[in-house]
């Protein structure tokens, strides 16, 4: 299916729900990897909102992105419980290691894995705990060789 058809299909699926915008945006990002700019006008029309209102919601929430991410998304927890066990050094190491790699690095503020930090999430599905610098290197190497 073309992306405009996917957008139209998702809008139809969700438009009648009360408070439909966030579920709609989630479905779109799950299907397309991001919420493309051309999806904004039809969403606004379906929900009787202005394009500015839709854009405001997309840009307010850290989770939503308007451009496609890299081949993979690596999220490193930067919150206090992970800081207490070396999370900052891990995040800094990830920044250096992933620069120019085509893999997207994002900070995340708590994954709820606070008794086994520092923690890392890959592609919103895979979780890793007690991540050392070496373990992170191995994780990234595996992502690079797989893609």
Partner 1 sequence: MRTTIFVPGDAAALALGADAVATAISEEAARRGIAIKLVRNGSRGMVWLEPLVEVATPRGRIAYGPVAPAEVPGLFAAGFLTGGVHALCLGPTEEIPWLARQQRLVCRRVGVVDPRSLADYVARGGGEGLRRARAMAPAEIVRAVTESGLRGRGGAAFPAGIKWQTVRATAAPQKYVVCNADEGDSGTFSDRMLMEGDPYCLLEGMAIAGLAVGAAQGYIYVRSEYPHAVAALEAALAGAGDFLGNFTIEVRVGAGSYVCGEETALLESIEGKRGIVRAKPPLPAVAGLFGQPTLINNLITFASVPDILAQGAAAYRDLGCGRSRGTLPFQLAGNIKHGGLVEVPFGLSLRELLYDFGGGSRSGRPLRAVQVGGPLGAYLPEAQFDTLLDYEAFAAIGAGLGHGGIVAFDDTVDLAGQARYAMKFCAIESCGKCTPCRIGSTRGVEVIDRIRAGDGRQIALLEELCETMTQGSLCAMGSMTPIPVLSALRHFAEDFGGKCE
Binding interface with partner 1 (CB under 8 A):
18-23, 25-26, 47, 56-57, 60-64, 79-85, 108-117, 119, 121, 124-125, 127-130
Between CA 124 and CA 74 the distance in angstroms is 8
Question: Residue 123 CB, nearest distance to partner 1 (Å)?
Answer: 10
Nearest to 114 by CA among 94, 129, 136: 129
Nearer to partner 1, 108 or 136 (CB): 108
Q: Residue 29's Cα: distance from chain center in Å? A: 9
Question: Residue 145 CB, nearest distance to partner 1 (Å)?
Answer: 19
Nearer to partner 1, 18 or 100 (CB): 18
Nearer to partner 1, 63 or 95 (CB): 63
C-beta separation of 60 from 25 below 8 A: no
Nearest to 108 by CA among 77, 80, 70, 69: 77
């Amino acid at each position: 299916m073309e992306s405009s058809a996917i957008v139209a299909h998702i809008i139809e699926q969700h438009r009648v729900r009360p408070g439909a915008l966030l579920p709609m945006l989630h479905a779109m990002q799950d299907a397309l990897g991001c919420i493309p700019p051309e999806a904004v006008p039809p969403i606004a029309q379906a929900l009787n909102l202005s394009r500015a209102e839709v854009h405001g919601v997309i840009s307010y929430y850290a989770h939503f992105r308007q451009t496609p991410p890299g081949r993979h998304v690596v999220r490193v927890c930067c919150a206090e419980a992970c800081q207490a066990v070396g999370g900052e050094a891990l995040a800094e190491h990830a920044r250096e290691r992933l620069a120019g790699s085509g893999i997207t690095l994002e900070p995340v503020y708590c994954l709820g894995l606070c008794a086994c930090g520092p923690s890392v999430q890959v592609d919103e599905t895979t979780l890793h705990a007690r991540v050392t610098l070496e373990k992170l290197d191995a994780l990234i190497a595996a992502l690079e060789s797989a893609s």
